[in-house]
Amino acid sequence: MPGRYATRACISEEMPTAPETTVSEEQVRSIISRNASPDIPFEQSINPYRGCEHGCIYCYARPTHAWLGLSPGLDFESRLVAKTDAADVLTRELSSPGYVVKPITLGANTDPYQPIEKQRRITRKLLKVMLDFRHPVVIVTKSALVLRDIDLIKALARRGLCRVALSITTLDPSLKRIMEPRTASPARRLACGEELVASGVAVSLLLAPIIPAINDHEIEAIVAAAKAAGFASAGYVLLRLPHEVAPLFQQWLQTHFPDRAGHVMSLVRQTRGGKNYDAQFGQRQSGTGPVAAMIRQRFRRATRMHALDRPGPELRCDRFRDPGDSQIALF
């Protein structure tokens, strides 16, 4: 029943005034990133952009901007890099004789549907390549702009090649504007999920990050809202504060939550062995200690109650083809 939360107009996102954005272009040698982390549910990913306009202060990708000689703070939000030849490079990599087909995640670090995608359309071009090759893809986003590409996403989903993970961290619009200042409202994200589900696309909830004493009180309500919108599964990530993210986050706390800033950081450190962050595999996503255990138990109980505790549908790798293969062209 699409439309319970908002109309299709959710493609037009409500955002406060953003800092002036500059975009540089990058020609990349390769586009598929690979990882062997045991606590990340994918081995291959693509990020069409460096930096992200959404302005989420807790974004664990912020330190990557330091590698470019830019600041993980304001520069990460306003000095962006577009990988303009991403689709051509992906075509070349998928056509490689030694390529092994595994699902690719779009948006592992920065959102593939951040505002500049409206004009740049790099993500859309990548999805067209995925469809041409019949390649499985998982889209991770907190933007309703994903609906612009519903034609490609539906075509992929019909073949068992696509699912979408929508990030929802709060149902409170006021808190959303503080946590994620230039993103779609919670209601619009839920409406977006409903429309995707109605189109035959498997949608999962990504509650990330859960921040103790900021949004953890909403765990049960967010899971229930996702179930009502037709989502098929759910996952979460506890707040991560690697490298330069920790001081940025603490400054943000002092600005927006001065009354509880110390308490929040105390709880965060209780989930990270007394530190701001612990990057150990098996712990970095969910933390350790009593506070982390309580969050984990509440999330598991809520997802069991709403039958969202099962994994999303497995994507098909057996339909892969090279559209440029001369043998395929004969048919």
The pLDDT value given to residue 13:
42
**What pLDDT was estimated at residue 329?**
43
Nearest-CA neighbor of 209 among 158, 168, 175?
A: 168
Mean pLDDT in residue range 145-161: 98
Domain ranges of the chain: 8-240
Three-class DSSP category at 40 = coil
Q: Which amino acid type is present at position 248?
A: L
Which has the minimum average pLDDT: 141-150, 211-220, 273-282? 273-282
77-118 confidence digits (pLDDT tens) = 999 999 999 999 999 999 999 999 999 999 988 999 999 999
In 10 A of CB 69, how many CB atoms?
7
Question: What are 55-76's pLDDT values in tens digits?
Answer: 999 999 999 998 889 999 999 9
User: Would you state the pLDDT for residue 67?
Assistant: 83
Structure tokens, 240: 């991560």
- C-alpha distances out from residue 210 to 46, 47, 79, 247, 271, Å: 24, 23, 27, 18, 12
Contact 299, 236 (CB under 8 A): yes
Question: Residue 295 has what pLDDT?
Answer: 98
Structure tokens at 208: 């990330």
Asked if 278 contacts 199 with a C-beta cutoff of 8 angstroms, the reply is no
Give the per-residue pLDDT at 2: 38
- Check if CATH label 3.40.50.620 holds for domain 8-240: no
Q: Is the pLDDT higher at 329 or at 237?
A: 237
The per-residue pLDDT for range 1-59, each reduced to its tens digit, is: 334 443 333 333 444 556 788 999 999 999 999 987 777 778 999 999 999 999 999 99
Pick the closest to residue 289 from 305, 299, 303, 278 (CA basis).
Answer: 278
The model's pTM: 0.91
Task: Give the H or E element holding residue 88.
Answer: helix 86-94
